[in-house]
Structure 1
């Protein structure tokens, strides 16, 4: 199953292999919580960072770009290789408890026979086609987020993510508002018996559908919350069917021209979009 990141994998199976001459940076998915196997997790991460893949018992999952490391007799750590500007890194994705590969978010029910997995003795033996090309990574390791691709937030975005709600996020097109909002939503959680109710509303039906798709990427589920994605019209229709027709830009512009002298914003289209 392909893993969509910040760019597509480069190279081919007969292309150049990856080499590492220093300790690799390791990035942990923000949704990966290894507390139940913390001691074994830290030990394996140390082996991986040092490039000692034999000690970590790294093996490739055939037919996928994923690899697993052995935490203990029953638990495994799923990860991928990444590369940015010629530097190899590891993306730690998921704990696989009790050999339950079929329950993995990323393997999507794939059957895995551990007796047939191929060992990867060193990072320089990985095939280039298995390495995810990344547009940006912060130096020194850390955490990443995941929607339909790997996301690294800059310090300002991470600060916004940690702020309490209520919260207003303002930014230009392409500034990451949607990704930041969806990652913030994931933090608004209750319990399985009393899940948090979250409502995502936007004027555009397309944006509502796209946000829902991004939120659920790679089979993401959160039993501690119930999230509804609606366009504004769809949301109103959950209350009552509004009378009349939605105001289009032509009608809005006619109304705006009559009130332009009293508006600080002189661009009718900009105001309509807002």
Structure 2
């Protein structure tokens, strides 16, 4: 069984402490962003993991203070009939980063090694073929100059149960729960076998898998961002001194005379 690292604690991080620790990491992400823009670097981050492992939360934490023009999040829907007829990896290739971009995949081509394999959306032969081919595809991606980072978010059986039950009980989270999620929940060990096989065949020197314990979501987010920053050779942000210029005089400007539609202020 895959378990948390020895440095993990059973005590979950409090929100106030989490925000305090996240603030300097956000500043470093901005510095990384500016380096990516100026250097023309290409960064690709892949997030995979079981349902409820916290992929969306960590992506939100990463992108909270950076530019969406630099950080692009890719979460592809189910393939169309045309895409099903293509080479499997083909629909992901156009989304890889160009110079000056950071692309984050909220699930990726590894769908074939996980949900598609376990739920029977592809044949066993197709899944094995994918696992055999993808290391060389990723070698080509890395050789093209892309910094490729692959993260697997691991959640325990107990935490997954609690989080799925929360989705059932909270109407704000109902959209996160699908019939596929429920079916996947019942097949924990099928997913475990598929995950282990994926690691065995695709954990390479040029594109390794990094595992993260996300039973404590907040601590997991901080650990991922800290590790991500360590993997990208960005330079510290140089702060330039900025003085606001004087505004122009009003001159002949007059406010509009027609009634304007201000929204109500109930708060």
> So what's the TM-score if we normalise by structure 1?
0.22
Which of the two has greater strand per residue?
1
Larger RCO of the pair (alpha carbons < 8 Å, separation 6+):
2
> So what's the TM-score if we normalise by structure 2?
0.22
